[in-house]
Amino acid sequence: LYKFQKGDILLDGKPLFDYDVANLRRRIAVVPQDVFLFSGNITNNIRLFNESITKDQVEQAAKKVYADEVIKKLPQAYDSELLERGSTLSSGERQLIALARADLFDAKIIILDEATANIDVETEYLIQKALNDLSADKTIISIAHRLSTVKSSKRIIVVHKGKVAEEGSHDELMVKKGIYFDLYRLQFENS
């Protein structure tokens, strides 16, 4: 959304701004901490009111990210009406709806911005399972303070005071015994 001041961002080895911006943005899905849902039913929220997308396609996307398990528990399942901003769903359930959208619209890059910050353990497990499955053919970028969210990531970048302090896998960072190690111990020894 903004031009960076220095450095480069490459996608498949090609500079970011060499791509058609509109096409690139269609390939990126953002799952924020507070997912925006519209008044209307679950189906229309997942397909963003695009009537050319069938209910079967919506259900397949929901199954792929384990949102189907949650949706089928609702009174009218996919036809359940949502109140404004999806207030009838928990924070984690809204995250699963957003992941179903990302899959349905075939986003190649999914950015999670503190997406698991305020959710229950059960829903976090479903989201983690979905992300592990989606990461086979998509790039997942997780911005998180909750280390359980990033623990299984292939590459973790620790940012401290605005600069990259460490990077590596969970195991590599634990061996380094640096900032990540200290944060991990604090989070898991106190839980």
- Give the model confidence (pLDDT) of 116-132 as tens digits: 666 777 777 888 888 88
Alpha-carbon span 16 to 3, nearest angstrom? 10
pLDDT for 171 beyond 60: yes
Alpha-carbon span 176 to 16, nearest angstrom? 32
List beta partners, residue 41: 81
Q: Between these two residues, 150 and 100, which has the higher pLDDT value? A: 100
pLDDT for 60 beyond 90: yes
Alpha-carbon span 108 to 129, nearest angstrom? 18
Q: pTM of the prediction?
A: 0.78
pLDDT category at 59 given cuts 50, 70, 90 is very high
Alpha-carbon span 133 to 136, nearest angstrom? 6
Distances (CA, A) of 187 to 35, 55, 133: 25, 41, 26
pLDDT for 191 beyond 60: no
Q: Which residues contact 73 (CB under 8 A, 6 or more apart)?
A: none
Nearest in space to 31 (alpha carbons), one of 95, 84, 92:
95
> What pLDDT shows up at residue 133?
83
> What pLDDT shows up at residue 61?
93
> What pLDDT shows up at residue 120?
72
Average pLDDT across the chain, whole number: 85
Which pLDDT tens digit goes with each residue over 141-159? 888 877 777 888 888 999 8
The percent of residues in the chain predicted with pLDDT above 70, rounded, is 94
> What pLDDT shows up at residue 148?
75
* Mean pLDDT of the region 59-80: 91
